[in-house]
Amino acid sequence: MMDFLWNLTSFVIALGILVTVHEYGHFWVARKNGVKVERFSVGFGKPLWRKRGKDGTEYILAMIPLGGYVKMLDERVDEVQPEDKGKTFNAKTVYQRIAIVAAGPLANFIFALIALYIMFLIGVPSVKPMIGDIVPSTIAAEANLPKDSEIISIAGKRTRDWQDVNLALIGQIGNKEITISTKKTDSQYISSVTLDTSDWQFSPDEMSALTSLGITPYRPKVHNELAAVAEGSPAELAGLLVGDKLIAVNDVLTDSWEAFAKEIKQYPNKDVAITTMRNGEILKLIVIPSRIEQAGKAIGYIGVAPRVDAWPKSLLIELSYGPIDSFKESAQRTWDLTSLTFSMIGKLITGDVSVKNLSGPIGIAQGAGNSASHGFVYFLGFLALISINLGIINLLPLPVLDGGHLLYYLIELFTGREVSEKAQEAGFKIGALALLMLMAIGLFNDFSRVLS
């Protein structure tokens, strides 16, 4: 329940910020071009808060936080006083209308640039992308990708951390081969191998790009020994102590922390016999794991953590830059994310990426919650990513979106006359249907992931 509330709160905050930014872009440029703005609303439905500003605009915070709008005076839908005829949207030139409509998506790109700039200025703690192991009989194994080596670049794109690696790999979906360059920690020699990805089976909702290729990232060793026991937890109530070595769960041997955790998860609210070794003595303790929800499933939880070796200092990095370099990095990351998003849209159209990979509001809410739980700089990165996606989606040539309006104005620009109201109305219906279908697919995928 707490995870749900955290994700929901993070989602509402993120969407509220991004919708405000987008609509403010329309609002600011409309006002600069002399258009009277009657209402600026963040959210839809019943107003929770409203105020009329000195500028005559009504500002609203509404109940349903799934969008927003800026209502501009328009003779085609409003009764307009003679003195306000020059302040209507429809009275402006086609160039002014294009600027007003394009300002929303543009504001999203500018916001992403600023968010990433602040993120790089503060600094992002990360680790170098060191390969820990290669799974036999996988694409990476067939290409002889060396383990215990750092990934330097993928398809020519530098990779400083695992986020860079994942973004680069996702961008290669649909390609027949991927070139990966690596180097050993104690060497400056860079080797490159080419992975044959003609039969690459990658489903983001089931596994990561790395897992699908057979690449296991380096992780410090996790010992099958308790390093922490939460106060008041089922483990403490059963008598488990820090330093206990875990041997078995219900007489099933658990020779690793992963095996132990897997067994515990199977027994929410059920008696479990845990065999441990303490000071050379074998003990068997009865624990009743609490029931918690994880990815829509009920699992057992006892409130313990394992002893984990420290990360090697040579692998720890911080992506932090000065004022000028932070701008360069944020501009490059904005460009990379924009290019990747356009590429994914193209691959959805060609079928290289399945519509099963689309996410709806539930998936976005989970992403918001996860990033926020890791800290402010990670939440900034998430906001930048979603802001870019929001900007690009709004530029799609669907009449119900900004891109559809821009399409009509471009036609008007070249033909010298407005698109007929009948054609616009038909286009809006088609666009609304297409958008509803995409939203339905995203929601269906969200529910399928939660219930699977």
SS3 150: strand
**DSSP category for residue 381:** H
Distances (CA, A) of 173 to 64, 84, 117, 139, 385: 36, 53, 28, 14, 19
10 Å CB burial of residue 298 (0-12, 13-18, 19+) is exposed
Backbone angles phi, psi at 187, to 5 degrees: -140, 150
Site of tokens 């050993």:
184
Burial of 424 (C-beta count, 10 Å sphere; 0-12/13-18/19+): middle
For residue 1, give the amino acid letter. Answer: M
Q: Please give the structure tokens belonging to residue 388.
A: 């870019």
Strand partners, 192: 181
Catalytic residue at 23? yes
CA distances from 16 to 62, 68, 443 (A): 10, 9, 20
Reference 192, options 178, 201, 181; nearest CA is 181
Q: How far, in Å, CA of 71 to CA of 58, rounded?
A: 10
- Active-site annotation holder among 23, 150, 263, 329: 23
The answer for residues whose C-beta is within 8 angstroms of residue 317's C-beta and 6 or more apart is 125, 126, 127, 128, 160, 161
- Cα–Cα dist 340/352, whole Å: 14
Question: Could you write out the DSSP letters of every residue in 200-251?
Answer: ----TTTS-HHHHHTEEE--PPEEEEEEEE-TTSHHHHHT--TTPEEEEETT
90: three-class secondary structure by DSSP: coil
- Contacts of residue 291, defined as CB under 8 A and 6 or more positions apart, other chains included, come to 268, 269, 298, 299, 300, 301
Report how far residue 108's alpha carbon sits from residue 117's, in angstroms, rounded to the nearest whole number. Answer: 14
Q: Which residues pair with 41 in a beta bridge?
A: 60, 69
Q: What is the DSSP letter of 314?
A: G
> CB burial class (10 A; 0-12, 13-18, 19+) of residue 79?
exposed
Q: Which residues are catalytic?
A: 23
